[in-house]
Structure 1
Amino acid sequence: MEGHQAASIWDTFTHEGFSFDGSTADVSADQYHHYREDVKLMHEMGLDAYRFSIACPRLIPDGRGEINQEGLEYYNNLIDELVLHGIHPHATIYHFDLPQVLQDEYGGLLCHHRFRGKKTTSEVCFKKFGDRVKHWVTVNEPSIEPIGGFDNGSQPPRRCSYPFGANCTGGDSSTEPYIAAHHLLLAHTAAVSLYRDKYKAAQGGQIGIAVLGWWHEPATSTPQDAAAAARMNDFHLGWPLGYGEYPPVMRRRVGDRLPRLSVAESARARGSFDFVVFNHYLILRVRSAERDEASQEPRDHYADAAVQRPHRVSSMGAGLGKLLEHQKLNYGNPPVLGFCSDRGQGDAPDATGEIVCDDDFMSEFLQGYLEVLNRSIRRAHCHCTHSKIDPSPSSRFPS
C-alpha cells in the first residue's frame, strides 16, 4: 500500500467524469509531498493555526481494518512540522471522503455500519495524534453531503430520485438524505463520547463539529417568506446537538421519514460539542412554496421545508453576523462558540461574468468579514452571563 491513499467515493466520482471542471484531483495541491514547504509558507505569513482533514482512505484504507503506516507517518510528520513552527493543528476526522469499499459493501452513509467505522477512525486519530492535536472536528458539513449525495445527486455517491436530481443511479430523495444525515450525527456523537470518556482528560483538547453556515433570509417582506426563511434555518442549522432532538417543525413536516433518536442517543447528542465551527459563504434568499400537506407528490428536503430552491447572494459579512447572533440567542451563548474555518471568495466577476484577479476586491471582502466578526465578539463579551440551554426542544423551536 502506497502512502497516498485508497479510493474514496470522491475519487470514483471524479474519475467517472462528474467533477465540475473534468479534473480528477489525483494530485491537486499535493501537500503530501510538499508539506514542509507549505508549513514554511504558513509560518512566514504569521499563521498560528491550520485546519486540515485526515483522509480515512489514507489512514485506514478500508475504513475499519489495518492502519496504513505510510499514511500514519505522513500525518505525524505534518503535525510535527506545524508544532515546530508554532502553528496549532486543527484536525478534521471526516471530510466527505468515505472509502469506496464501505460504499460498495455496506451502502456507505445509509448503513449504520458507517457509524461504527467512524468510531474506529476517531480512535486511531485520538490515540496517534492527540498528544499534539488539541482541536478536533468530527465531521465536516454534515448537512451538505446528504443533500448533494442523496437528494439532488450533484455529489458522490450520486443517489437521488425523480424529479429532484438527474443522472443518478438509484436512490430516494425523500428518505435517504435524512438517513445519511442521521448516521453522520450518530458518528459525531460516538466520536465525542469516545474522546471525552477516554482521551480528553489526559490530552486536554477540545472537540466539535463543522457546520455549513449558510444564512437564510426572506426574498420579500411577506410573512410567508419570513416564515419560510425561519423554517429553512431550522432545517439547516437545527441539529440535535443543543437540544437532543430534531426541531419540531422538521418532525411535523417530515414525519416518519425523519429517523428518531433513542433516549440514549438523544442524551449523547445534547451538548456534544466544545465548540462549533462555521463554514460560511453566503446568504440565501428564500421564497415560500407551501402546498397541500396531504399531497402524495414526492417530497425532498426543500419541499419538506416548503421553500423554493434558494437564490444565492454574497453577503460581504452581514450573513456571518446574523448567523453568530442566531447561534448565541438560540443555543445558550456557549463560552466557546466557534471558529470560522471556511470563508472565502476567489475573485470578483466582471460585467461579463468572467473571473478577474482583483486584490482590492479581496481586501474589501475580507475587511468586511473581519469587521462583522469583531462586532459579534464585542456583543458576545457584553453578554455577561452564559445562559443554560433548556433541554426541551419546544423551548426553542416553533412547531
Structure 2
Amino acid sequence: MGRIMYFVRMEDYVHMVELCLTSFGDRVKYWITINEPNIVTLYAYEMGLFPSSCCSEPFGNCISGNSDLEPLVGMHNMIPAHGMAAKLYRDKFQRKQGGLIGITVHSFMFEPLTDSELDHDAAKRAFAFNVNCIDFIGINHYSTVYAKDCTSSSCSATADRAIQGFVELVGERDGVLIGELTMVDGLYVVPRGMEGIVNHIKIRYNNKPMFITENGYNSPNVQEERINKLVNDVKRVGYHTSYLAFLAKSIRIVLNDRGGADVRGYFVWSLMDNYEWLYGYKVRFGLYHVDRKSLTRIPKLSAKLYMDFLTNKSDLIGKEASRDKRSFQKDVMMPYS
C-alpha cells in the first residue's frame, strides 16, 4: 500500500478485494484489509525507508517528499480504502461466508517517562498519533517504550515536530532500560505492555472484539552457531511465557463475565524463521528453525512448549495466569493459532 494510494483509485483496490473474497471466501474466515498502515506511512513517507522512499529533513535525505505532511495524506487515503473494502464484505459476502473483516495496527504500549503531567499527556498523544486514529480488530504488539514530552523539554530534531505529536519515544529512564533489548533496535522485552495495550484498546473502543495478530521474539541470525543452540531458544520461550501470562490476565475476567478484554485470537510471529523487509534474514522470529541451504525446518524448544500448551500438556503461562486456562485455550488460542 502506501504511495500506491496516490495513483491507484480506491475503486481499483476494492476490485482486487472483491476478487480475493470471491476466490477464497469459502476457506478464509478472517480478513485483514491493510496490515500496519501506520508503519507503512512511517517508513514510506516520513523516514523514506520503504518505496517510494519519500521524506524530508530532518527525517532523511530523499529526492522528494514532505515528512511533516505526506504520512497524514497516506493514512487519510488508506482508511477510506479499508472502509470501502469492509463495506463490500459486509454487504455482499459476510452473511454467506460467515467471516470477519478488520484492519491491523502495529502498536507499542506507551508509558510516561516520568510522573509529570506533561509526560502523561505525551503518552496520550503517542497513542493518538500511533493507534487511536484507526478502527480495527488487529493488534501487532511486541514492545513498550516511554513517552517523553517535547513541548517543554529538549528532544531530538525528529521528535520535536507536530507529525510526531511533540513526543519522543525512549527505551531508557534514569540509565535503566525499560526491558531487555532484542536484535531489532527499539524493541524491548516488556511483558506488562501486553496487558496495558489490550486494556487501552478495550477502554478506547468500548471492548470491541480484538485479535493479537502478531507477537514474537527476534533472535540473531548467526550462521556460526551450532544448530542445537539455535533450536534451544530459551529466551523465546521466556518471552511467550510472560507475554501470554499478561494476555491471559487481561482476558481472564471476561471468561467469567466480569468485564475483561474481548480478545478473540492470538497469533505467534512467526511459525518459522522468515524474511523481514527491513532486516532480511538477519533476525529470526520463528518457532521453527530454517536451514537456508537445505530449507530443512527444525522445531525449536519454543515450538514444542507452545504445542504442549495448546494441547493442555503444559502450564506454560503459570498457575496464577492460568486460573481459567482451559477456557483461555478453548476460546482464544485453539481456533486461531
* Contact map agreement 2:250 2:260 (CA 8 A) in 1: no
* Contact map agreement 1:285 1:313 (CA 8 A) in 2: no
Q: How far apart are residue 220 of structure 1 and its match?
A: 2.0
Instruction: Extract unaligned runs of 5+ from structure 1.
Output: 1-95, 99-106, 242-272, 350-355, 388-399
Q: Distance in 1 between matches of 2:31 and 2:66?
A: 33
The answer for the alignment partner of 1:144 in structure 2 is 39
Instruction: Tell me whether 1:239 sits opposite 2:100 in the alignment.
Output: no
Q: Higher strand share goes to which structure?
A: 2
* Contact map agreement 1:188 1:209 (CA 8 A) in 2: yes
CA offsets per residue over residues 260-312 of structure 1, 9 Å max, x none? xxxxxxxxxxxxx6xx11111111211111169xxxx994521xx11124433
The answer for the alignment partner of 1:153 in structure 2 is 48
Q: Distance in 2 between matches of 1:121 and 1:212?
A: 24
Instruction: Extract unaligned runs of 5+ from structure 2.
Output: 172-185, 222-228, 262-337
Instruction: Tell me whether 1:202 sits opposite 2:96 in the alignment.
Output: yes
| One of 220, 233, 236 as aligned partner of 2:114 | 220
* Contact map agreement 1:332 1:386 (CA 8 A) in 2: no
Q: CA separation of 1:383/1:182 partners in 2, compared to 1, >3 Å: closer, same or farther?
A: farther
The answer for the alignment partner of 1:337 in structure 2 is 210
The answer for the alignment partner of 1:277 in structure 2 is 138
Q: CA separation of 1:234/1:381 partners in 2, compared to 1, >3 Å: closer, same or farther?
A: farther
Q: Distance in 2 between matches of 1:114 and 1:319?
A: 38
Instruction: Tell me whether 1:109 sits opposite 2:5 in the alignment.
Output: yes
Q: Distance in 1 between matches of 2:260 and 2:235?
A: 38
Q: How far apart are residue 116 of structure 1 and its match?
A: 2.1
How many correspondences in the alignment? 235
* Contact map agreement 2:104 2:138 (CA 8 A) in 1: yes
Q: CA separation of 1:189/1:175 partners in 2, compared to 1, >3 Å: closer, same or farther?
A: same
Aligned amino acid, residue 329 of structure 1 = I
Identity within the alignment, %: 30
Q: Distance in 2 between matches of 1:382 and 1:151?
A: 44
Q: Distance in 2 between matches of 1:290 and 1:227?
A: 10
Q: Distance in 1 between matches of 2:96 and 2:73?
A: 35
* Contact map agreement 2:55 2:64 (CA 8 A) in 1: yes
CA offsets per residue over residues 350-383 of structure 1, 9 Å max, x none? xxxxxx8452211111100111111111133355
Matched position secondary structure for 1:190: helix
Matched position secondary structure for 2:149: coil
Q: Distance in 1 between matches of 2:5 and 2:65?
A: 12
* Contact map agreement 1:291 1:306 (CA 8 A) in 2: no
Q: Distance in 2 between matches of 1:377 and 1:204?
A: 24
CA offsets per residue over residues 171-210 of structure 1, 9 Å max, x none? 1111110010111101110100000011111111111111
Q: CA separation of 1:385/1:235 partners in 2, compared to 1, >3 Å: closer, same or farther?
A: same
The answer for the alignment partner of 1:346 in structure 2 is 218
Q: How far apart are residue 156 of structure 1 and its match?
A: 1.8
Instruction: Tell me whether 1:289 sits opposite 2:160 in the alignment.
Output: no
The answer for the alignment partner of 1:44 in structure 2 is none
Trace 1:159-174 onto structure 2 (pairs within 5 A): 159-166=54-61, 168-174=62-68
Q: CA separation of 1:384/1:361 partners in 2, compared to 1, >3 Å: closer, same or farther?
A: closer
TM-score (norm 2): 0.64
Q: CA separation of 1:218/1:348 partners in 2, compared to 1, >3 Å: closer, same or farther?
A: farther
Q: How well do the aligned residues superpose, as a CA RMSD in angstroms?
A: 2.8
Q: CA separation of 1:386/1:307 partners in 2, compared to 1, >3 Å: closer, same or farther?
A: closer
The answer for the alignment partner of 1:301 in structure 2 is 163
Instruction: Tell me whether 1:184 sits opposite 2:78 in the alignment.
Output: yes
Q: How far apart are residue 317 of structure 1 and its match?
A: 2.0
CA offsets per residue over residues 18-77 of structure 1, 9 Å max, x none? xxxxxxxxxxxxxxxxxxxxxxxxxxxxxxxxxxxxxxxxxxxxxxxxxxxxxxxxxxxx
Q: CA separation of 1:134/1:313 partners in 2, compared to 1, >3 Å: closer, same or farther?
A: closer
* Contact map agreement 1:282 1:313 (CA 8 A) in 2: yes
Q: CA separation of 1:370/1:235 partners in 2, compared to 1, >3 Å: closer, same or farther?
A: same
Q: Distance in 1 between matches of 2:250 and 2:239?
A: 17
